[in-house]
C-alpha cells in the first residue's frame, strides 16, 4: 500500500505563513479537486438515469468494486425517492419491525401499518413511504438473517469513523461508477431521487403526485427536476416540422440547392 502523502494530503491543517515584502500569504492545505464524470467547464446539472441498462451497469459495477452498502444505497435511493442525507440517515428501526421483520409493502392498499416514517430535515416533518419489492430483495440480500436484534438505532449505512456515510462520499462513489460505465450525463446524489421521479412518471404520468412528494411549488418545476420537460421539448422539435422545401422540391434547380 502506498502510504506517501501528497501536498494536498498532508495531515496538518494549520496555515502555512509565508512573509513577502509587504504581504503575508496564507496557504491552507486543501483537498485536490475531484474528477467528475462530466467534462471540466461543462454542464454541471445532475440528471436522472433513464435507461434500465444503465441502472443495471451501475449496479453491477457497485457490486464488484465498492462496499456492498453502496449498492444497497443505490437501490434504496432510486426506489424511495429520499434526499441523499435522508437516505444516509436511515436507521434499522426505520425499516424493521421490533420482531426483526422488514416493513415491506403489502397487497392490501387499505392497510397502511407497513408504512415507513422518515424525518425530512429540509421541511422538518416526517413523511410516510413504503419498501417495494425491489427494496425488500436488496435488504434480504444485505440482511439474510432476521432477528429482533436488527431493530435498533444503528445507522443503515454506517461509516468506519462512526455515524453514517457522508453525502460527499456517496457522491464520489456514484461518479466513479458512472464514469466506469460510460454514462454521458452528470451523475450525483440527486440522481437517485430524480431517477425515482422519472420512473414513477413513466409508469403512471402522475406529475401531481410527484410534485406533492417532492414539495415543489409547480408541476413544471417537477417536470424539469426529473428531466421530463427537456425530453418533451426535444420531442416537440422532432415531431413538429413545417417543411416548405419539400413542397418546392420539384421546382428547385441545382443552382438553387447550391
Local confidence band at 3 (pLDDT 50, 70, 90 cut-offs): very low
Which residue in 38, 69, 70, 83 is the catalytic one? 83
> Is 137 a known active-site residue?
no
Instruction: List the catalytic residue out of 23, 51, 122, 251.
Output: 122
Sign of the Cα torsion 12, 36, 139, 80 reads positive
The pTM of this model reads 0.77
Q: Taking 50 as the threshold, does the pLDDT of residue 8 lie above it?
A: no
Q: State the SS3 of the chain.
A: CCCCCCHHHCCCCCCEEEECCCCEEEECCCCCCCCCCCCCCCCCCCCCCCCHHHHHHHHHHHHHHCCHHHHHHHHHHHHHCCCHHHHHCCEHHHHECCCCCECECCCCCCCCCCCEEEEECCCCEEEEECECHHHHHHHHHHCCCCCHHHCCCCECCECCCCCECCHHHHHHHHHHHHHHCCCCCCCCCHHHHHHHHHHHHHHHCCHHHHHHHHCCCCHHHHHHHCCHHHHHHHHHHHHCCCCCHHHHHHHCCHHHHC
pLDDT for 19 = 40
Average pLDDT, the chain: 83
Mean pLDDT of 109-114: 82
Q: Read off the pLDDT band of 121 (50, 70, 90).
A: confident
Q: Would you call 216 a catalytic residue per the annotation? A: yes
Confidence of residue 115 (pLDDT cuts 50, 70, 90): confident
| Catalytic residue of the set 115, 179, 216, 224 | 216
Of 164, 171, 190, 200, the active-site residue reads 190
Structure confidence at residue 35 (pLDDT): 47
Q: Where are the domains of the chain?
A: 52-188, 197-230
83 is catalytic: yes
The 10s digit of each residue's pLDDT in 230-258 is 888 888 898 998 888 878 877 776 565 55
Q: Is the pLDDT of residue 153 over 60?
A: yes
What is the per-residue pLDDT across 155-209, written as a single tens digit (0 to 9) for each?
A: 999 999 899 999 999 999 999 999 999 999 999 999 999 999 999 999 999 999 9
Question: Which grid cell sits at 17?
Answer: 505563513
At 256 the pLDDT is 53
* Res. 229 pLDDT band, cuts 50 70 90: confident
Task: Verify whether residue 205 is a known catalytic residue.
Answer: no
Please tell me which residue in 193, 194, 198, 200 is annotated as part of the active site: 193
Residue 14 has pLDDT above 50, yes or no: no
- pLDDT of the residue at 37: 53
Architecture of domain 52-188: Orthogonal Bundle (1.10)
Amino acid at each position: 500500500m502506498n502510504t506517501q502523502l501528497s501536498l494536498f494530503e498532508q495531515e496538518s491543517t494549520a496555515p502555512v505563513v509565508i512573509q513577502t515584502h509587504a504581504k503575508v500569504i496564507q496557504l491552507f492545505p486543501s483537498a485536490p479537486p475531484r474528477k467528475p464524470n462530466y467534462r471540466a467547464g461543462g454542464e454541471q446539472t445532475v440528471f436522472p438515469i433513464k435507461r434500465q441498462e444503465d441502472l443495471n451497469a451501475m449496479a453491477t459495477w457497485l457490486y464488484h468494486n465498492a462496499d456492498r452498502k453502496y449498492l444497497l444505497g443505490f437501490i434504496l435511493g432510486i426506489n424511495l425517492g429520499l434526499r441523499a442525507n435522508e437516505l444516509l440517515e436511515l436507521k434499522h428501526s426505520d425499516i424493521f419491525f421490533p420482531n426483526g421483520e422488514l416493513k415491506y409493502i403489502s397487497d392490501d392498499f387499505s392497510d397502511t401499518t407497513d408504512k415507513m416514517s422518515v424525518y425530512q430535515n429540509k421541511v422538518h416533518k416526517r413523511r410516510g413511504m413504503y419498501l417495494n419489492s425491489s427494496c425488500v430483495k436488496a435488504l434480504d440480500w444485505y440482511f439474510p438473517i432476521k432477528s429482533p436484534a436488527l431493530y435498533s438505532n444503528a445507522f443503515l449505512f454506517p461509516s468506519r469513523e462512526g455515524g453514517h456515510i457522508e453525502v460527499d462520499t456517496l457522491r464520489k462513489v456514484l461518479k466513479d461508477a458512472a464514469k466506469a460505465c460510460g454514462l454521458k450525463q452528470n451523475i450525483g446524489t440527486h440522481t437517485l431521487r430524480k431517477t425515482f421521479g422519472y420512473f414513477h412518471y413513466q409508469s403512471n404520468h402522475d406529475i401531481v403526485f410527484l410534485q406533492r412528494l417532492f414539495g415543489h411549488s409547480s408541476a413544471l418545476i417537477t417536470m424539469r427536476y426529473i428531466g421530463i420537460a427537456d425530453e418533451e421539448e426535444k420531442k416537440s422539435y422532432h415531431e413538429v416540422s413545417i417543411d416548405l422545401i419539400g413542397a418546392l422540391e420539384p421546382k428547385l434547380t441545382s443552382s438553387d440547392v447550391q
